[in-house]
């Protein structure tokens, strides 16, 4: 014990040069050199502890020994060894083994001189099979094995940091270990390579002397392998470049991968959230920065890494692959979920601290070739587990281009199933920007069942291909700049999801989503916008689904000709439930259209645009050309069904039409269906449901068919209208054989008759439409040609004109619309309006009364359903209605009593009279009266008699039919309005006061006879309008017991002599002799007592007092208290 050996040299021993054994403790070896012995120094035994081995004046190398330069074994513990050189030893430099050999600290000395460190040993530089030891500040290079090897189940809890492995830390020269820089295997666990502590307050400074540099090794920078190798933490690493004293940073790739996690290793954590402990990997030109592989390699996490560059040291040296998952690796997480944004004073900025930043990869930022637990047996419908997760990563080049761009952001190939890319949580979104060829590329991946599909959701893909000078042409083959690409028979993949939070935002790429030789993939719920060439492009692809809920707008230019959606040389694809040319926004679709078409189908067969209607209908609006373009001789058997083309999908939605035709067929497109029918199945079996489109407001024609070879195209069951600059259907230059339109010869209340041109065979289909002009807004009937003529039962005729088309019974070609036939006025639907009850009566109302004028109406529809859109009143008499009339309301009198009762319903809420011309209108009504139905309505007007003078009169009337606005069931259809005009209300005259009003007086004014007989409705505690204000309170406040009224009491504060008091302010009708008020207080809302107050103010306006009470005592010292206003009716 406590011996000191200094400046000694031990050479050529047959045994160990220096041996610690027995109870050797607290000894100091300083500057002891050991050369050519069995082991240079050996510490063995459980009582060998607290010894120190340190160099002195460059002395203390342990070189050229048979086995190891330094060996700790058999329980040696709590020893400290600092070494300068451990070189050229036969089996390795330093060996630490034994289940109880623990708590030792071994370190080297960096930057002393050239050729200093654990060098050129015959095995690993440092070989560890013992627990809970610390190794730091070593330079391990040129060894014939790994730089550092940690192996075996007894190797756990060890910590390594500030390691240089694979190069000379003096001059940064290459000096490869003939293995990996650090190798962990054989069940080693709970190993930490790096620092846990954050070295400065912000965690944003790289602490060079605590970072490990792993560069130039023959195999990997770090290799972690084996089924029981687990719980490994890696941080504060620089891999792929070396930091030297003389030459600074040098790019020295490891032979294969930067970090390899293979063969069942699990629970490995790579990265850190602070800059000082991040993992930075660059220059791995032959492999991946991080490689995760093996059928049992799972539950590993990579987060907060900088791959391909360093944010602190300004390096941009890419790897071949950033992160590679392969050979069955599953349940690994790449990127840690983080906050979506952090807010700074400068605005909103992205928080990438827990994200990986992956740049400059020459093949892919992430290469994904595995996923899903391979041990599972997945059946149809079963949800698999164990997919890899790629979330909250920044996979991007810089906007300036250069070496920073990845060739492909995320490359997904065969073997990758059941993985999640992104997520529905904002903090799971990947930012995949400025990559060269593709943001995400799914290459040849065929997913056998839907439940095995990878989920690509909630990501942003921005400006991929943006820095490429010549990206190539998507229709000619491979090109650069896909947001998301699916190629080489990719099958069964899912892009996006049904939830709004699962949408991928794909913008400003060359092409948003590109499918080439892709089969049965789904593109659902994505936003694709501002693409240079086109939004969604399908080339040689079949049976893919685009929809539901995609937003595809502002894509393409006229020069590049790819528009919103393009399908070329494909078949069986469907586009459903998407906005093409607009984006979602309540009942307001807005956005810039695609150029030069919304959806283009070229030489592609049997595709369907739209489907069964409802959420499967597409909204195709605002595009800078045709809404749908079908072109080429190979464009055959396509169907465009149940879409909204240039028109709103719901009432109140604002949209703009397409600048070209709504739907255009050209260049030999043949045997396509615009509208038509779609088979539906219900309990009765399968039947063909009409599937017409609504087409309107196009810049040219609704449907345009051009060219002698463009034949066999049917156009049926559509609503086509409002084409001011073109026709509803136009066949030109031989399109559809320019089949002649039918001729309508007779329109009666029950049928439409006409003839067809010679050459139109019997059995051809004639369809009849009602329209305000020469098109076909509403389909009203159909029939077959017989003997060159047709006779079709047609009852509903909502518009003034009847038009027809014929579809050839053999070729299927549809004509243009016929010349319109104008309906005689007697065939219009009608509305009759009259007063319901007896003639108007005169009433006297005292000046202090609450008068209400009632006008009972009955409205009857004939010839079809009628929608009432507005109703106006003209005020008559001498009163100034702008000041004296409190409000009006429109009521459907369901019980036909002629007075408002609880079973009636409001059609329009009370509104104030503010106009000067004595006219008041109820606008934007949506009340429908069915054919043959009579409805009873009440118009009630309330008067503030106090604002009128004695002797003044009030009345209202409807002078003519112009005071009723109506239309047919279809907006804009004509209605013949008649009535028993002039229709007048009762006439009220203001007489002097009759004395103070009482509660019974008030009841008589506000309730009908039936309501007065029911105290639950009209009694003091009744509440007919369910607004929480009982009738006695409505009486006191002067509010309407039939109108849902917000409580007008307002709480506030009042300062007086330095003290704060609560206040209550409320209205009270003037002159009420049977109402008293006060306040109550309670500590707990259970027990109430009478409160004290003072009146602060009492202002009388228009017969209503506005009273403010100061509640006593002041707030200070009271504690928690509750107050209420008490209104009481006295006998």
| Range name among 668-682, 905-919, 1031-1045 with the lowest pLDDT average | 905-919
- Residue 578: how many other CB atoms lie within 10 Å: 33
User: Do the beta carbons of residue 161 and residue 182 sit within 8 Å?
Assistant: no
Q: What pLDDT does 737 receive?
A: 95
The Cβ-side half-sphere exposure at 723, using a 13 Å CA radius, reads: 31
Give the CA distances from residue 207 to residues 274, 275, 857, 1058, in Å, rounded to whole numbers and listed in that order. Answer: 11, 9, 87, 59
| Contacts for 599 with CB less than 8 Å, ≥ 6 apart | 563, 564, 565, 566, 567, 575, 580, 609, 618, 620, 627, 628, 629
- φ, ψ (nearest 5 deg) of residue 964: -115, 125
The answer for residues whose C-beta is within 8 angstroms of residue 765's C-beta and 6 or more apart is: 716, 782, 783, 784, 785, 806, 807, 809
The CATH code of the domain that includes 745 is 2.60.40
Helix (H) or strand (E) holding 937: strand 934-943
pLDDT bin (cut points 50, 70, 90) of residue 568 is very high
Residue 381 has pLDDT above 70, yes or no: no
Indicate whether 92 belongs to any domain: no
Q: What is the mean pLDDT of the chain?
A: 86
pLDDT classification of 348: cutoffs 50, 70, 90: very low
DSSP SS3 for 45? coil
Domain identity same for 921 and 1031: no
Distance (Å, whole) CA 515 – CA 379: 28
How many angstroms separate the CA atoms of 669 and 537, rounded? 19
Close Cβ partners of 502 (under 8 Å, ≥ 6 residues apart): 424, 455, 457, 458, 496, 525
Whether 725 and 747 share a structural domain: no
* CA nearest neighbour of 924 among 869, 842, 992: 869
In this structure, the number of other CB atoms found within 10 A of the CB of residue 389 comes to 21
CA dihedral angle for residue 336, residue 339, residue 340, residue 344, rounded to 10 degrees: -130
**Residue 947 pLDDT more than 50?**
yes
The confidence score (pLDDT) of residue 960 equals 87
User: Tell me, what's the pLDDT at 380?
Assistant: 43
**Is the same domain home to 745 and 894?**
no
Say how far residue 444 (Cα) sits from the centre of its chain: 28
Rounded-to-integer distance, Cα 667 and Cα 750, Å? 42
Q: Of 823, 846, 878, which one is at a domain's C-terminal end?
A: 823
β-strands 964-968, 866-877 pairing: antiparallel
Q: Is the pTM of this model over 0.85?
A: no
In a domain, 35, yes or no: no
List the single range of 320-334, 347-361, 504-518 with lowest mean pLDDT: 347-361
- Specify the 3-state DSSP secondary structure of 450: helix
Specify whether 768 is located in the same domain as 841: no
Q: What is the pLDDT of residue 608?
A: 97
| Distance set, CA 967 to CA 327, 794, 832, 869 (Å) | 68, 20, 13, 7
Residues 6 or more apart whose CB falls under 8 angstroms from that of 839 comprise none
Cβ atoms within 10 A of the Cβ of 242, count? 28
Residue 564: per-residue pLDDT: 95
Distance CA 221, CA 288 (A): 11
Least Cα distance to 467 among 518, 399, 516 occurs for: 399
Task: Transcribe 232-276 into DSSP letters.
Answer: EEE-SEEESEEEETTTEEEE---SS-SEEEETT-EEEEEE-SSGG
Confidence (pLDDT) at 989 = 79
| 293 lies in some domain | no
What is the distance between the alpha carbons of residues 146 and 143, in angstroms, rounded to a whole number?
Answer: 7
Residue 1084, helix vs strand vs coil: coil
Number of domains in the chain: 5
766 lies in the same domain as 669: no
Nearest to 110 by CA among 8, 249, 210, 184: 210
Task: Quote the percentage of the chain above a pLDDT of 90.
Answer: 53
Mean pLDDT of 615-627: 92
Q: What is the mean pLDDT of residues 286-294?
A: 95
Residues 901 and 792 occupy one common structural domain: no
Helix (H) or strand (E) holding 1016: helix 1015-1018
Q: What's the per-residue H, E or C state across 494-558?
A: EEECCCHHHCCEEECCCEEEEEECCECCEEECCEEECCCCEEEEEECCECCEECCCCEEECCCCC
Residue 934 lies in a domain: yes
Helix (H) or strand (E) holding 192: strand 189-193
Confidence of residue 964 (pLDDT cuts 50, 70, 90): confident
Instruction: Provide mean pLDDT across the span 746-770.
Output: 92
Quote the pLDDT of residue 369: 92
685-690 and 729-732 strand pairing: unpaired
Q: Which of 35-39, 428-432, 496-500, 969-973 has the lowest mean pLDDT?
A: 969-973
For 585-599, 707-721, 888-902, which range has the lowest pLDDT when averaged over its residues?
585-599
| Contact between residue 282 and residue 403 where contact means Cβ atoms under 8 Å apart | no
Domain limits for position 983:
829-991
CA distance 821 to 726: 19
**pLDDT at residue 400, as a whole number:** 61
Examine the domain organization and report whether 867 and 939 are in the same domain. yes
- Residue 345: its pLDDT value, please? 40
Q: For residue 1015, give the H/E element and its range.
A: helix 1015-1018
| The pLDDT value given to residue 341 | 40
Cβ atoms of residues 336 and 354 within 8 Å? yes
DSSP 310: B
Is the same domain home to 595 and 720?
Answer: yes
Do both 987 and 1005 map to the same domain? Answer: no
pLDDT for 1042 beyond 90: no
Q: Is pLDDT at 1072 greater than 80 in this prediction?
A: yes
The pLDDT score that the predictor gives to residue 382 is: 44
**CA-based torsion, 985, 990, 991, 994: positive or negative:** positive
Residue 718 φ then ψ, to 5°: -90, 160
Domain contains 945: yes
Task: Tell whether 833 and 903 lie within a shared domain.
Answer: yes
Q: How far apart are CA 782 and CA 792, in angstroms?
A: 6
Q: Closest by alpha carbon to 799, among 863, 723, 868?
A: 863
459 inside domain: no
Residue 256 has pLDDT above 90, yes or no: yes
First to last CA, the chain: 108
The CB-side HSE value for 503 (13 A sphere, CA atoms) comes to 19
Asked if pLDDT for residue 871 goes beyond 80, the answer is yes
d(CA 697, CA 703): 11
Q: Give the per-residue pLDDT at 1126.
A: 92
Distance CA 657, CA 883 (A): 46
Residue 397 resides in a domain: no
Position 347 scores a pLDDT of: 41
Higher-confidence residue of 180 and 822: namely 180
Q: Check residues 161 and 917 and name the one with the higher pLDDT.
A: 161
Q: Are 405 and 436 in contact (CB under 8 A)?
A: yes
- In this structure, is residue 1006 part of a structural domain? yes
pLDDT of residue 875: 80
Same domain, 783 and 926: no
Same domain, 588 and 732: yes
- 980 vs 352 pLDDT, higher one: 980
The pLDDT of residue 203 is above 50: no
**Does the pLDDT value for residue 1117 go beyond 90?**
no
Q: Could you tell me the CA-to-CA distances from 70 to 12, 111, 128, 536, 631 in Å, in that order?
A: 15, 21, 12, 65, 80
Provide the 3-class DSSP secondary structure of residue 810. coil
For Cα atoms 460, 461, 467, give the angle at the middle one, nearest 5 degrees. 140
pLDDT tens per residue, range 1048-1068: 899 999 988 888 889 999 999
Nearest to 969 by CA among 1059, 868, 866: 866
Q: Using CA atoms, how far apart are residues 169 and 116, in angstroms rounded to an integer?
A: 8
Average confidence (pLDDT) over 632-636 = 96
Q: Are 403 and 361 contacting, i.e. CB atoms less than 8 angstroms apart? A: no
CA angle 446/450/452 to nearest 5° reads 70
Q: Between 338 and 319, whose confidence is greater?
A: 319
State percent of the chain over pLDDT 70. Answer: 87
Output the pLDDT for position 167. 87
Over residues 711-737, the pLDDT tens digits come to 999 999 999 999 988 999 999 999 999
Residue 378 pLDDT more than 50? Answer: no
Domain edge (last residue) among 738, 763, 787: 738
Residue 749, pLDDT above cutoff 80: no
Q: What is the CA radius of gyration of the chain?
A: 43
Q: How far is CA 1003 from CA 849, 938, 997, 1000, 1015, in A?
A: 12, 20, 10, 5, 11
CA–CA distance, 1063 with 1067 (Å, rounded to integer): 14
């Amino acid at each position: 014990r406590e011996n000191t050996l200094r400046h000694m040299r031990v050479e050529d021993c047959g045994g160990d040069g220096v041996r610690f054994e027995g109870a050797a403790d607290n000894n100091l070896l300083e500057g002891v050199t050991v050369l050519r012995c069995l082991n240079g120094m050996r510490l063995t035994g459980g009582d060998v502890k607290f010894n120190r081995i340190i160099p002195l004046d460059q002395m203390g190398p342990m070189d050229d020994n048979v086995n190891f330069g330094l060996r700790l074994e058999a329980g040696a513990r709590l020893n400290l060894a600092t070494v300068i050189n451990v070189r050229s030893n036969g089996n390795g430099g330093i060996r630490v083994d034994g289940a109880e050999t623990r708590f030792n600290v071994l370190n080297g000395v960096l930057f002393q001189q050239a050729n200093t460190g654990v060098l050129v040993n015959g095995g690993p530089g440092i070989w560890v099979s013992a627990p809970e030891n610390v190794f730091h500040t070593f330079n391990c290079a040129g060894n014939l094995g790994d730089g550092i090897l940690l192996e075996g189940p007894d190797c756990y809890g060890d910590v390594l940091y500030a390691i240089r492995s694979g190069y000379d830390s003096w001059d940064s020269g290459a000096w490869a270990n003939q293995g990996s820089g650090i190798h962990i295997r054989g069940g080693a666990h709970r190993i930490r390579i790096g620092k846990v502590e954050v070295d400065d307050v912000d965690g944003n400074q790289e602490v060079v002397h605590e970072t490990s540099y792993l560069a130039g090794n023959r195999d990997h920078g770090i290799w972690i392998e084996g089924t029981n190798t687990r719980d490994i933490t890696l941080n504060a690493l620089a891999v792929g470049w070396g930091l030297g004293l003389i030459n600074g940073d040098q790019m020295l790739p490891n032979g294969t991968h930067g970090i390899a996690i293979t063969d069942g290793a699990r629970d490995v954590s790579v990265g850190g959230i602070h800059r000082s402990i991040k993992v930075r990997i660059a220059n791995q030109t032959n492999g991946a920065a991080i490689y995760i592989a093996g059928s049992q390699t799972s539950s590993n996490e990579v987060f907060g890494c900088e791959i391909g560059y360093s944010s602190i040291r300004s390096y941009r040296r890419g790897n071949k692959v950033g992160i590679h998952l392969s050979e069955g690796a599953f349940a690994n997480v790449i990127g840690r979920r983080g906050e979506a944004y952090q807010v700074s004073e400068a605005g909103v900025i992205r928080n990438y601290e827990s994200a990986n930043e992956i740049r400059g990869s020459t093949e892919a930022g992430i290469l994904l070739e595995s996923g899903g637990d391979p041990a599972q047996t997945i059946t149809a419908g079963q949800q698999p587990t164990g997919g890899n997760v790629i979330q909250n990563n920044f996979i991007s080049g810089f906007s300036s281009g250069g070496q920073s761009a990845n060739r492909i952001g995320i490359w997904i190939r065969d073997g990758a199933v059941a993985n999640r890319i992104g997520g529905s949580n904002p903090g799971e979104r990947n930012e995949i920007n400025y990559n060269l060829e593709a943001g995400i590329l799914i290459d040849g991946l065929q997913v056998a069942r839907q439940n095995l599909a990878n989920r690509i959701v909630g990501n942003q893909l921005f400006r991929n291909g943006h820095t490429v000078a010549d990206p190539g042409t998507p229709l000619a083959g491979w090109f650069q700049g896909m947001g998301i690409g699916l190629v080489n028979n990719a099958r069964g993949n899912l892009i996006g999801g049904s939830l709004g939070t699962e949408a991928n935002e794909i913008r400003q790429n060359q092409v948003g989503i590109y499918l080439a030789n892709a089969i049965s993939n789904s593109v659902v719920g994505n936003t694709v916008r501002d693409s240079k060439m086109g939004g969604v492009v399908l080339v040689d692809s079949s049976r893919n689904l685009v929809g539901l809920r995609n937003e595809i707008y502002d894509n393409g230019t006229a020069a590049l000709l790819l528009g919103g959606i393009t399908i070329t040389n494909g078949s069986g694809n469907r586009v459903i439930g998407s906005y093409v040319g607009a984006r979602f926004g309540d009942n307001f679709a807005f956005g810039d259209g695609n150029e030069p078409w919304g959806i283009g189908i070229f030489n592609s067969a049997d595709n369907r645009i739209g489907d069964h209607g409802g959420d499967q209908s597409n909204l195709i609006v605002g595009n800078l050309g045709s809404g749908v373009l079908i072109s080429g001789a190979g464009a055959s058997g396509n169907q465009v069904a149940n879409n909204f083309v240039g028109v709103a999908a719901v009432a109140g939605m604002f949209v703009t039409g397409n600048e070209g035709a709504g739907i255009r067929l050209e260049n030999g497109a043949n045997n396509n269906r615009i509208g038509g029918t779609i088979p539906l199945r219900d309990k009765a079996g399968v039947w063909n449901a009409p599937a017409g489109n609504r087409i309107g407001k196009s810049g040219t024609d609704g449907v345009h068919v051009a060219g002698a070879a463009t034949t066999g195209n049917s156009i049926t069951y559509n609503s086509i209208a409002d084409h001011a600059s073109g026709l509803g259907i136009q066949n030109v230059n031989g399109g559809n054989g320019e089949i002649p339109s039918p001729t309508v010869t007779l329109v009666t209340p029950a049928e439409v008759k006409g003839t067809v041109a010679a050459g139109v065979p019997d059995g051809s289909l004639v369809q009849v439409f009602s329209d305000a002009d020469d098109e076909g807004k509403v389909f009203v009937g159909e029939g077959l040609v017989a003997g060159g003529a047709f006779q079709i039962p047609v009852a509903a005729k909502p518009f003034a004109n009847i038009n027809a088309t014929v579809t050839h019974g053999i070729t299927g070609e549809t004509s243009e619309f016929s010349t319109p036939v104008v309906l005689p006025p007697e065939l219009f639907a009608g509305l009759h309006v009259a007063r319901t009850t007896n003639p108007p009566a005169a009433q006297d109302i005292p000046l202090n009364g609450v008068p209400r004028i009632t006008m009972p109406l009955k409205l009857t529809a004939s010839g079809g359903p009628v929608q009432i859109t507005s109703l106006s009143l003209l005020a008559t008499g001498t009163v100034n209605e702008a000041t004296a009339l409190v409000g009006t309301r429109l009521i459907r009198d369901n019980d036909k009593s002629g007075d408002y009762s609880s079973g009636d319903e409001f059609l329009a809420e009370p509104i104030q009279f503010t106009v000067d011309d004595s006219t008041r209108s109820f606008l934007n009504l949506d009340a429908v009266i069915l054919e043959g139905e009579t409805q009873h309505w009440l118009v009630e007007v309330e008067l503030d008699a106090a604002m009128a003078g004695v002797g003044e009169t009030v009345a209202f009337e409807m002078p003519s039919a112009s005071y009723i606005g109506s239309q047919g069931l279809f907006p804009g259809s004509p209605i013949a309005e008649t009535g028993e005009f002039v229709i007048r209300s009762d006439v009220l005259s203001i007489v002097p006061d009759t004395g103070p009003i009482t509660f019974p007086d008030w009841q008589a004014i506000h309730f009908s006879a039936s309501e007065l007989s029911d105290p639950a409705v009209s009694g003091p505690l009744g509440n007919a309008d369910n607004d929480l204000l009982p009738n006695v309170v409505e009486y006191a406040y002067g509010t309407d017991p039939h109108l849902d009224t917000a409580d007008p009491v307002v709480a506030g504060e009042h300062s007086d002599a330095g003290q704060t008091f609560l206040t209550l302010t409320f209205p009270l009708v003037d002159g009420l002799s049977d109402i008293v008020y006060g306040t109550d207080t309670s500590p707990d809302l259970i027990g109430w007592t009478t409160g004290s107050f003072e009146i602060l103010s009492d202002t009388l306006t228009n017969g209503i007092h506005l009273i403010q009470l100061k509640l006593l005592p002041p707030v200070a010292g009271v504690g928690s208290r509750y107050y209420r206003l008490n209104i009481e009716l006295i006998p």
